[in-house]
Amino acid sequence: MGKFDDLLKSATNFVEQNKGTWKHYDWIAFMTEVKKKGTEINYDLQNNIGTMLESMKDYLGYVTGTGKEGHPLKDVSETVANFIKDTKGKWDHTAWEAFLSELSKKGIDLTERTTSYIGNVLESAKSVYFLSPKEETPIDTPKQESIEIPVESIESVEETPKEMKADEITPVEAIAPDPIKESNTKGKRKKARKPE
């Protein structure tokens, strides 16, 4: 299971456990728990997770108020997660119809209103999908083979650097002023030169 799946599952559990009602400190505790599970949360992702929770809450609130069976949020969330991953977050109307058909097979009553709420869950989850960290897949790096170079092809290399002659060395003063001399002259007035 990837980070997106974990995030959607955690969000679904949070909404169901709180029966669609929570305080701000519950939200903070939820976000802290998500971070503890290793999901890096930036500002945009946090806002979109909030929107997703609210859309799940709206769906749950509506279907609970109708008193009808056949509206489990977990089934909707699982189908949403699979659909988004399968389509990589991009779909057309035909795919949307297939998605609704899948929900109907799971026994979810698709009225015009529930379909609208489910559409909101789907769209908000899609935003979370695009913003959530992706699972890193190990990259197969080719093994590097060692190459033997014949000794004859290696030119002789001097092992010790040549000695430098005194006239080849640049004095430090030519590069930067000597800090010791500078500190000794501070506070002393220099004689003004007479103009020539």
Domain ranges of the chain: 3-131
CB 89 within 8 A of CB 130: yes
Sequence-separated (6 or more) residues with CB below 8 Å from residue 117: 55, 58, 59, 62, 63
Residues 6+ positions from 9 with CB-CB distance below 8 Å: 1, 77, 81
Give the pLDDT confidence of 53-76 residue by residue, as tens digits: 999 999 999 888 766 665 688 999
- What residues contact 148, with CB distance under 8 A and at least 6 apart? none
Residue pLDDT, tens place only, 111-161: 999 999 999 999 999 999 999 877 654 444 445 555 555 555 445 545 555
Contacts of residue 99, Cβ cutoff 8 Å, sequence gap at least 6: 79, 83, 91, 122
**Cα three-residue angle 101-114-80, rounded to 5 degrees:** 55
Query: What is the amino acid identity at position 188?
Result: K
- Averaging pLDDT over each range in 3-7, 96-100, 107-111, which range is the top one? 96-100
Q: How far apart are CA 125 and CA 81, in angstroms?
A: 8
Any long-range contacts for 158-163 (C-beta under 8 Å, 24+ apart)?
none
The whole-number pLDDT of residue 38 equals 86
N-term to C-term CA, the chain: 87
Percent of the chain with pLDDT over 90: 50
| Cβ-defined contacts of 187-190 (< 8 Å, 24+) | none
Per-residue tokens: 31: 């976000």
pLDDT at 137: 44
Residue identified by tokens 């290793």 is: 38
